[in-house]
Amino acid sequence: MSVRMLCVAGLSLGFFAALVSAPAAQSEESQSALQKDPAGWIDLLATKDLKNWKRVPIPPGSPLATKNPWSLDPDASSLVCDGVGIHEMLLYNEEFGDGIFHVEWRFKKVEGGKSYNSGVYVRTSGDGAIWHQAQVGSKNVGYIFGDTPVDGKTQRVKIDDKKPQRGKDAGEWNTYEVACQGKQMTLWINGAVTATWDNCEVSKGHVGLEAEGWYIEFRNLKFKR
């Protein structure tokens, strides 16, 4: 084989190897979309109050707790959720289609605490009946689940790519980005994509957060179309 043929063969093999390894590259370390390009994001807490957000009960139609667990800490520029004894959503009033929801969160560390729980929502209906959640917890993260239409019937789905855990211990800040484009939904956590779903039938909805029994803080709530 000539030198030219060897070079062409080498290029072809290299190109083929790149195609084969492309899906695996999703698990490689990467910057967040906000880090890559900080322009064009909507600050969902820009008004410094919660008038653009609404509390939604879980399950849908049940009464809301008398206590409102959501408040703003202007000194820390964070949204505080005292969710002890409460289970509900906080949804942003505007619906979004394709785009990226950026959220940073941390639990208040509790002595002997375990099974920390919360969630980050995208493409969720205003009444909370249809929802898609990136699980928030301590060493129990990395997947997307929800109640969503599948062939015209609402079903529970769970998308778990079985990636290594990327959640940090309670008391430490975590960064999530849930990206939606067409039917594809991806979850990026602390430097890498951990789950990809290619068959979401809901094209738009509300973004939001979950109160589920724990004290948790959120900051840098941003959306980019």
Q: 42: buried, middle or exposed (CB in 10 Å: 19+, 13-18, 0-12)?
A: middle
Query: Quick one: average pLDDT of 93-97?
Result: 98
Residue 48, pLDDT score: 83
Report d(CA 123, CA 121) in Å as an integer: 7
| Structure token digits, residue 194 | 């951990």
Per-residue pLDDT at 21: 35
Task: Tell me whether strands 87-92 and 99-107 are parallel, antiparallel or unpaired.
Answer: unpaired
Q: How confident is the model at residue 75 (pLDDT cuts 50, 70, 90)?
A: confident
> Which residues is 148 bridged to in the sheet?
155
Q: Where are the beta strands (DSSP E) in 24-173?
A: 42-43, 53-57, 70-73, 78-82, 87-92, 99-107, 117-124, 131-137, 144-150, 153-159
Q: Residue 185: its pLDDT value, please?
A: 98
Average pLDDT over residues 167-173: 97
Q: Taking residues 200-224, what's their average pLDDT?
A: 98
pLDDT given for residue 27 in this prediction? 64
The answer to whether 71 and 215 are in contact (CB under 8 A) is no
Record the tokens describing residue 51, joined without a space.
């008038």
pTM: 0.87
Q: 């099974």: which residue's tokens? A: 115
| Collapsed DSSP state (helix, strand, coil) of residue 12 | helix
Weakest mean pLDDT among 12-21, 37-46, 70-79, 133-142 = 12-21
The predicted model gives 173-196 an average pLDDT of 98
